[in-house]
Chains A and B, each alone.
Chain A
Amino acid sequence: AQTVTQSQPEMSVQEAETVTLSCTYDTSESNYYLFWYKQPPSRQMILVIRQEAYKQQNATENRFSVNFQKAAKSFSLKISDSQLGDTAMYFCAFALSFQGAQKLVFGQGTRLTINP
Chain B
Amino acid sequence: DTGVSQDPRHKITKRGQNVTFRCDPISEHNRLYWYRQTLGQGPEFLTYFQNEAQLEKSRLLSDRFSAERPKGSFSTLEIQHTEQGDSAMYLCASSLGTGADTEAFFGQGTRLTVV
With contact pairs A44-B4, A105-B45, A106-B44 given, residues A97 and B106 touching in the complex (Cβ less than 8 Å): no
With contact pairs A45-B106, A97-B100 given, residues A102 and B93 touching in the complex (Cβ less than 8 Å): yes
- A93 — which chain B residues lie within 8 A by C-beta? 42
Q: How many A-B residue pairs have CB under 8 A?
A: 75
Select the stretch in A14-22, A46-54, A65-73, A75-83 that faces chain B. A46-54
Q: Is the CB of B100 within 8 A of A101?
A: yes
B residues contacting the other copy or chain, number (CB 8 A): 30
- B102 — which chain A residues lie within 8 A by C-beta? 102
Q: Is the CB of A109 within 8 A of B101?
A: no
On B, residues with C-beta under 8 Å from A are 3-4, 31, 33, 35, 40-45, 48, 50, 55-56, 91, 93, 95, 98-109
Question: Can you give 25 A-B contacts (C-beta < 8 A)?
Answer: A4-B42, A32-B100, A37-B106, A43-B108, A44-B107, A45-B43, A52-B101, A91-B42, A91-B43, A95-B100, A96-B100, A97-B100, A99-B100, A100-B98, A101-B31, A101-B48, A101-B50, A101-B55, A102-B100, A104-B35, A104-B104, A105-B45, A106-B42, A108-B41, A109-B40
18 more contacts with CB within 8 A, not counting A44-B106, A108-B40, A108-B42, are A32-B100, A42-B108, A43-B108, A45-B43, A46-B106, A50-B101, A52-B101, A96-B100, A97-B101, A98-B100, A100-B99, A101-B31, A101-B33, A101-B48, A102-B93, A103-B56, A104-B35, A105-B45
